[in-house]
A and B are shown apart, each in its own frame.
Chain A
Amino acid sequence: MIAMALLEVKNARLYYTTTKGIVKAVDSVSFELNEGETLAVVGESGSGKSTLAKLLVRVWERNVSLVDGEIYLEGKEVLHIPESEFRREVRWKKIAMVPQASMNALNPVIKIGDQMIEPLLLQGTGKEEALKMAMDALEAVGLPRDIVNRYPHQLSGGMKQRVIIAMSIMAHPRIVILDEPTSALDVITQANIMNLLKKLKWEFKLSYIFITHDLALASELADAVAIMYAGKIVEIGGAEDIYQNPSHPYTQGLISSVPTLRVDKSLSFIPGEVPSLINPPPGCRFHPRCPYYRDRDYLKGLCDAKEPPGVKVEGKSSRTHLVYCWLYG
């Protein structure tokens, strides 16, 4: 690859301590995000995708026990720089996040404008200027400028979501992490938001990390897809390759469980559930649920013992298609 990746994550790990033990929420995750690209991170609930997002903007709960790995943003390591520097230089300005359940991300008794400019004020931007930036951002997401004087309860769910998106692009970041940005919205609003995101991407030359459990939705926006399972990426590659040639058994299961309109087929599902991240299965974490492991004897003693290496799969897109599975090892 000629151009340096905009964001490069190497062996990122984030563990939590709980009373029951250490939760390996993100375990040795590596990927790259290129300029102008949208990477969808897809996985079931509890697969660590939201934690990955929090790791990228360095927002984690107090009970974190381990943060490890390297994150390069425009070639500069940012995971281990001081928090104050990260806050000043990186967060909001380079990498911003639209949090999950962002409908609840607004203080009900503070005006939209005052909430939007809070991070800017805290970083020393003057109020006038901050307010102007906020209003510009609101305009960009298709809201009237005078919405800064409204209270959250006066807005609809979709409008609130737009406000949150406006907040994320206010300081003109390079990367926006969208954590389930449409999960609580009805389908029409969801479609509107998706179109808005596409528009913003062109307008502001953004790169997205789009976190969702919805493969179908991800296909709307994604240039590349990473499939997460139990804190690890099991497959990553160009969107076309993943959708048309899903290689990992988990990806295949996910894709076949997407409902289709008007086609009368019974939905398949993956038996079992996401394993506990405190005590993940040894080897490939998917093996207890894997149909191939169940059927093929030669995989016994392999999948349940050793972690699968990343294997390149031939694909159409320019992005490397990697699958972490012993079927290809």
Chain B
Amino acid sequence: MAKRRREFRILGMTPSEIFKEFISGSTGKVAMALFIILVVVSIYALIVLPPNFAEIWNNPKYWQLNPQYAPPAWMDSVIGPVYSPQIYVNNYEYSVQQSNGVTYITISFSVDYKYDKPWNEIFVVINNPAIYNLPQPPVLSITVYRPDGNEIVLGPLPINRRVTTLGVAPEVMGQVNLFYAEKYHITGVVPTGSSATPYIFYTVDDGKLTPLKGVYNFRLVFYVFSQNASSLINREDLEIVLQGQIYGLMGTDNEGHDLWLGLLAGFPIDLAVGLLTALIIVVIAVVIGIVAGFYGGLVDEGLMRLTDFVILLPAFPLLIVFSVLFRWNIWYAVVFLAIVSWGASARIIRAMIMQIRNAQYIESAIIAGASRMWILRNHILPQIVPYILYLLVTNVPGAILTLTSINFLGLAGSEYPTWGILLYYAEVFGALTSGYWWWVVPPGLLVAFVAVVFILTAMASEPVVNPRLRYG
């Protein structure tokens, strides 16, 4: 046969023609837009999230500065300044003094408190390990100048670990209680087990605790018991964090995880999980379908009985049972789900091939001397390749939903947070009954969103798959 260059075509259409066809309808445009969003967000997630994100996510220490169960930060712009936001204090004055073998490091900053719910906690973080390994740990003393002219002196607190939590130190609790006892003659303001920090921002009005709004000035003095120790606590190593009651774009969960990052991480992993499942399903289905449909006879009979068996398997209960039994992670669940889900697709492919195989043009081709491979390549594959892509797209949402469900049951987990895992923890920690909607609604919506994207894509690709719909 004369050599000829074949341009790349599917169904006789070049990729650009397919693209044009795909976006010619409004469904296609919407699907394309949403699909691009999906892909872009996934890529963005992969770029933004560090490679060891799974490790970070599962390390509670990483999230300890964040508030727990905090609604998204934009809540305040919706309902007014109610919750104090998370503040990382960068804008502070820093000065160093030396005397008698002691280095005094003074930090001053102010915050404007205009909310109903004060900061939960104040953290002083020193990232230099040298400081808390000193034979005699440095000491921190804090003076708070309140808008009402009063001041509260807190400390001294020993700095012997990376994060010093102000409100839970017994000295501080005592000092705050003492403040209220002396000024307002109320005792036991700070309940046992709670942090004293919020009570710095209250006053007593008419015998009741009310928020005292205004500008608070903080002066922190570190006493380091050695000469020239300013390098031990410098600006780079020092973080001062006011833990708010709202956090980030999407709020936090029980451990203070930034849910925005969790949701973001869900994009690539849920997509990967869905696409991988669909890919395995389609590969098995295509192989079984082609072999059964093309060879027929006993092979067909055997494979179809196998297919019947697979179709009848209760995939989800089995997935639950095996996930419990073998402590599967999500990738095992993916493979298993694919292995028990290819039945219907294989049936469809086989049926298509049976129909094609008995068509007159196949008969003509055989009469003309075409080999099996010729027929497979020239007559059968061109008809089923687009359908294979279609099956790939249609199998994704089901896989994502199923795997989200199994994650929701706390099974087949992964180090990476999937949306299903987020929902699982939301359920375990009573997010719904406690009204933590930001923990439940976004992952649920995203699962639905991805399903819709793929279903729309499948719908829009129908005119491409079926040439008869093209010019109708």
| Chain A positions near chain B (C-beta within 8 angstroms) | 57, 59, 84, 87, 91-92, 99, 101-102, 104-111, 115, 118-119, 121-124, 126-128, 151, 153-154
Contact = CB atoms under 8 A, between A and B. Distances in A.
B471 interface: yes
Contacts of B378: 110, 118
Contacts, number: 73
Interface in B343-393: 359-361, 363-365, 367-370, 374, 378-379, 382-383
Nearest to A129: B2
B47 interface: no
Given A127-B2, A153-B467, A119 B361 contact: no
Nearest to B380: A107
B-side interface size class: 20 to 34
11 contacts: A59-B367, A91-B368, A105-B364, A106-B361, A109-B12, A109-B382, A110-B382, A111-B12, A151-B12, A153-B468, A154-B471
The 10 A-B pairs of least Cβ separation, nearest first, read A119-B368, A105-B360, A126-B2, A107-B361, A122-B369, A122-B368, A153-B468, A109-B383, A87-B369, A59-B367
Contacts of A109: 11-12, 382-383, 467
Contact of B379 (A59, A84, A102, A107): A107
Contacts of B2: 126-128
Given A57-B367, A108-B467, A122 B12 contact: no
Contact of B369 (A104, A115, A123, A127): A123
A87 B364 contact: no
Given A118-B365, A119-B364, A107 B467 contact: no
A122 B370 contact: yes
B359 A59 contact: no
A81 to B, nearest CB: 15
A118 B360 contact: no
Q: Which interface residue of A99, A115, A122 has the most chain B CB atoms within 10 A?
A: A122
Interface string B440-472: 000000000000000000000000000110010
B468 A126 contact: no
Q: Which interface residue of A108, A115, A119, A121 has the most chain B CB atoms within 10 A?
A: A108
B1 interface: yes
Nearest to B374: A122
B360 A101 contact: yes
B208 interface: no
Given A87-B368, A106-B361, A118-B368, A127 B12 contact: no
Nearest to B370: A122
Contacts of A101: 360
Contacts of A57: 367
Contacts of B305: none
Interface in B1-50: 1-2, 4, 11-12
Interface string B322-360: 000000000000000000000000000000000000011
B355 to A, nearest CB: 11
Contacts of B379: 107, 110
A100 to B, nearest CB: 9
Contacts of B471: 153-154
Contacts of B468: 108, 153
Contacts of B11: 109
A121 B3 CA distance: 12
Contacts of B369: 84, 87, 119, 122-123
Q: Which interface residue of A57, A84, A109 has the most chain B CB atoms within 10 A?
A: A109
B361 A126 contact: no
Contacts of A128: 2
B4 A127 contact: yes
A256 B109 CA distance: 114
Q: Which interface residue of B1, B360, B364, B368 has the most chain A CB atoms within 10 A?
A: B364
Contact of A126 (B1, B363, B364, B374): B1
